[in-house]
Structure formats: structure tokens, C-alpha cells
Amino acid sequence: MKPRILVTRTLVDELLDELRRHFEVDDSQPRDGPHSADELRSRIADKDGVLLFADRVDAALLDAAPRLKAACNITVGYNNVDVAACTARGILVTNAPGVLDDTTADMTWALLLAAARRIAESDRWLRAGNWKGMKFSDRFGRDVHHATLGILGMGRIGRAVARRAVGFDMRVIYHNRTRLESALETEANARYVGMDELLAQSDFLSLHLPYTEANRNVIGAVELARMKPTAILVNASRGGLVDEPALIAALREGRVAGAALDVFDGEPTVNRGFLGLDNVVLAPHMGSATRATRLAMARLAIENLMEALAGGVPRCLVNPEALARRRG
């Protein structure tokens, strides 16, 4: 008998066909939005594995899934999963890193450029019928070339963002929990600095940290006060990294020039304070949203799920401690 799995979001037919070759697949109620907690508990009760796309997995859900052996995220982030609760029950947790690095770096640059040149604001202004002809001092934005790009968090995506700055002849500085090896610094054309210097010197500050409790609100009122009033903050990483009320106040009062955000604390709910501001670009968490990349992410998650349910060790396992307790 094939293992039973739950697919929580709508996938393309070619991926579902691949899954059906190996598993008994529950996609009888496929959807693109999140399930309610009760619905998810009902559907996962008899499953051996689950393929997730940002769905919340907590202790209450796990208590309703006595057969569950693997929870495999299609995304690189896995703060939607209570990893400790999974580990205690011998449930393997995986993510899908690496395959979305360049696509997310591209999106970071799209956000940065849109904020610098006021693209979203100007699009709304034009559509409203306000353009009556060019003026010398109209729609001034900020130059990206020759500016200083600051990167907080210099992992794979941070380095991909840094490499793209070469074409704009930018000065790149970064801060990371640990300094990169010199070869990686050279590849990224980036210089390590302390946090205070990063905040003070960056014309554009781009966040590329994982979400952890230690990183929650890493950019708050104190950090925003240390930034240039002409600076632009870009976040295509995780919403909880930024103290949103503090950022809204800084944007409204002109203490920072702008922001570009693809992620939000408590998404899909967006703090309404952002909505009335022209100096912020907002996107609905679409950093990895190209067909090629999303398919690659899903295929990696499927590989992880197949390996986990076959009794092997998935290559993207995030809780190896669970191996000693894994369910038979």
C-alpha cells in the first residue's frame, strides 16, 4: 500500500502525476489559500506525510496526526513549523533551499529599483490622470548607481544580491553573524562592517536573515534612527524582521526616505498604516514566484518527502535530531 500524503496547496498536474506514482495523494480539496486549523487537522489525521506551502504546523495539528512521519516545506523558510514539536514526535521536517536564490535576488532588485525611482507611486499617479507633461523637477527619485548597498545577512541570497550590485557600480557593505571567508567577500565584492556602520552608511539596506526569535524586530525604532534620512529599506526575507509600527512612523515622518516590502508580520494581513503611504512599495510575498523556480522548489520538496517516507535521510532535513525518534 502506498503511503498517504496531503498536499495543502494547488500544484500543477505534472507534479501531482509524479506524486501519484509514489503516494496515495489527498488533493480532493486543493486550494491556493491557507486551510483553517480544523480543516487541516481533519485532512491530516490519516496521513504519513504532508507537503506544505507556508501552512502552520503546530503541536495541536501534530496531535491529530498519529501516523505523520514527514512535514516537507516547499519554501526555504520553515518558521511556519514547530520544529521542536515535530522532533519530539520523531517527525522529519524539510525545507527547499538553494533553488530560489537567484529568483529572490532578482525580486530584491526589482523592489529596490521600484522604490528608488518611485515606480509604483508614479504608476498610480499616471493612471489617475495626473500627467500633463514633463516638468524639470517632477518625480525626482534616487540614483542607485554609485550608491552604498548595505546587506544584513550574507547567506546565499544576500551574496546573490551583492553580485548584482557590480553592474550598478555600487559600494557594498554587509553585516553578518559571522564574517565571510575572504574568497566569498571577494566574489560578492563586499566589505564587512559592524551593525552601526551598516545602518549609518547604507543608502539602500536590504535584509536577508532567517526569521528567528533572536532576529525578531532586528530593525526597530533604534535602528531606523541610525539610518540616513535618505535611505531606503528593502525586505524580501521575512516579515518579523522589521518592527512595522516603527517603520510606518519613520516613513510618515520622513526619518527614512522609503521602503520596499515583499513580506509582512502576520501576513497575509498587512498593517493598514502602510497603505496610505506613497513612499513604500508593497508586494504580496512573491520573491520566488516564477514558474521555473516554484516548480524546482516543489520538486525538491517532493524528493525530500520521498526520501523521508522511504526510511532515508532527506538532503534538506532541518531537524536531524528527529532521526533517532522517527516513526516506523
Give residue-wise pLDDT tens across range 57-103: 999 999 999 999 999 999 998 989 999 999 999 999 999 999 999 99
User: Hey, do 4-99+290-325 and 101-282 end up sharing a CATH topology, with the first three levels equal?
Assistant: yes
Distance CA 233, CA 242 (A): 10
CB 297 within 8 A of CB 288: yes
Q: Is 22 a catalytic residue?
A: no
Which residue type, as a one-letter code, is found at position 283?
A
What's the pLDDT at 76? 92
CATH topology of domain 101-282: Rossmann fold (3.40.50)
Rounded to a whole number, what is the distance in angstroms from the first to the last CA of the chain? 15
Distance CA 22, CA 19 (A): 6
CB 32 within 8 A of CB 41: no
Distance CA 185, CA 173 (A): 10
CB 122 within 8 A of CB 175: no
Can you give the residue ranges of every domain in the chain? 4-99+290-325, 101-282
What's the pLDDT at 319? 98
Selected catalytic residue, list 238, 244, 294, 307: 238
CB 74 within 8 A of CB 301: yes
Could you tell me which of 227, 245, 284, 281 has the C-alpha nearest to residue 116?
Answer: 281
CATH code of the region 4-99+290-325:
3.40.50.720
Q: Is 244 a catalytic residue?
A: no
Strands 24-26 and 204-207, sheet pairing: unpaired
What's the pLDDT at 37? 86
- Report whether the peptide linkage leading into residue 268 is cis, meaning its omega lies within 30 degrees of zero: yes
CA-CA-CA-CA torsion sign (309, 314, 319, 322): positive
Q: Is 145 a catalytic residue?
A: no
Residues 54-68 pLDDT 10s:
889 999 999 999 999
Selected catalytic residue, list 9, 285, 294, 307: 285
What's the pLDDT at 30? 62
Residues in the chain: 328
Q: Which stretches in the chain have pLDDT values below 70?
A: 28-31
Selected catalytic residue, list 267, 303, 321, 327: 267
